[in-house]
């Protein structure tokens, strides 16, 4: 299954079913190494050393994206709400873009929703929707290649 993304005015909503536990999806969205592995989707790479995560309301989440032509752009977000392991809300302070990541159990896996609000005009495009969907698909591929943590027994 691949991600689907829907553009509605100044909102973009992407969804993806993942065959892993919500805790693994949460860990991927909050670990610098995992973020670097999937955040660029099919349209950019993220140098591992560029990712910083201060996982608390008011903390910053930042990374560099590198386009195929070599152009690098720094992305910076500020966490508004952190409700482990089900919801992350963060704002991009320059444009006011708000992103809500919702991680919910669904059957034997997880339903992941990324809802972006207050999209600036340059991101209200089919290309932006495809880019967000490709990030979720890259996340799925990343999770497929990560070993499942062993369960501890008391």
> What is the rounded CA–CA span in Å between residue 117 and residue 10?
6
> What is the rounded CA–CA span in Å between residue 77 and residue 45?
18
- Quick: pLDDT tens for 95-153: 999 999 999 999 999 999 999 999 999 999 999 999 999 999 999 999 998 765 544 44
Please tell me the pTM assigned to this model: 0.91
Q: Which domains does the chain have, with CATH numbers?
A: 4-144 (3.30.530.20)
- Quick: pLDDT tens for 19-29: 999 999 999 99
91 phi and psi angles, rounded to 5 deg: -110, 145
């Amino acid at each position: 299954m691949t991600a689907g993304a829907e553009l509605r005015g100044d909102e973009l909503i992407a969804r993806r079913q993942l065959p892993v536990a919500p805790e693994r999806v949460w860990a991927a969205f909050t670990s610098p190494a995992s973020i670097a592995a999937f955040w660029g989707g099919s349209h950019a790479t993220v140098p591992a050393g560029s990712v910083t995560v201060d996982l608390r309301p008011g903390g910053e989440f930042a990374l560099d994206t590198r386009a195929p032509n070599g152009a690098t752009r720094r992305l910076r977000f500020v966490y508004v709400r952190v409700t482990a392991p089900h919801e992350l809300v963060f704002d991009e302070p320059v444009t006011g873009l708000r992103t809500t990541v919702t991680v919910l159990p669904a059957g034997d896996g997880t339903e992941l929703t990324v809802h972006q609000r207050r999209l600036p005009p340059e991101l209200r495009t089919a290309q932006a929707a495809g880019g967000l969907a490709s990030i979720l698909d890259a996340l799925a591929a990343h999770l497929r290649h990560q070993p499942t943590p062993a369960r501890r027994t008391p």
